[in-house]
């Protein structure tokens, strides 16, 4: 099955600086890579995603890049703000199963992003 590694586990940056979180995946058939933000006491919420036919995607201060050859993808947050403090998870989705079902997402272990004032 798929295996997703995420680094770093904790990242502390000054407010206004950029933050980068990196993930690698093992299954070359994986074709969908979402990023989730989880605030304390809440469920994960999708912030951006990318599919395997795209190399980069941006949404305001957030961007995701994908390198299929190297099997890694990264989350970039620019001009960080206090409300960006949270745990961020990357995930990967493999292909459909032969029986027609589909796997859920395989998640990285998370990065605790701390924005220092």
- Which residues contact another protein (rule: CB under 8 A)? 1, 6, 31-32, 34, 36, 41-46, 49, 51, 89, 93, 96-97, 99-110
Task: Summarize the chain as % helix, strand, coil (round to 5).
Answer: 5, 55, 45
Q: Residue 101 Cβ, how far from another protein at the closest point, in Å?
A: 5
Contact 36, 43 (CB under 8 A): no
Closer of 5 and 15 to another protein (Cβ): 5
Q: Residue 112 Cβ, how far from another protein at the closest point, in Å?
A: 11
Closer of 70 and 97 to another protein (Cβ): 97
Q: Residue 72 Cβ, how far from another protein at the closest point, in Å?
A: 17
Task: List C-alpha distances in Å: 68 to 12, 31, 36, 51, 87.
Answer: 28, 9, 20, 10, 25
Q: Which two tokens stand for residue 116?
A: 């220092």
Closer of 22 and 107 to another protein (Cβ): 107
Distance between CA atoms of 75 and 88, rounded to whole angstroms? Answer: 9
Q: Residue 92 Cβ, how far from another protein at the closest point, in Å?
A: 10
């Amino acid at each position: 099955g798929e295996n997703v590694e995420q680094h770093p586990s904790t990242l502390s940056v000054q407010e206004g600086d950029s933050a980068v979180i990196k993930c690698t995946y093992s299954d070359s058939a994986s074709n969908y890579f979402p990023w989730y933000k989880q605030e304390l006491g809440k469920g994960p919420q999708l912030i951006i995603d990318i599919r395997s036919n795209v190399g980069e995607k941006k949404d305001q201060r957030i961007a995701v890049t994908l390198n299929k050859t190297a099997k890694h993808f990264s989350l970039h947050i620019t001009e960080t703000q206090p409300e960006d403090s949270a745990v961020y998870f990357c995930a990967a989705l493999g292909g459909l199963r032969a029986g027609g079902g589909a796997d859920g997402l395989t998640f990285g272990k998370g990065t605790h992003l701390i924005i220092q004032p």
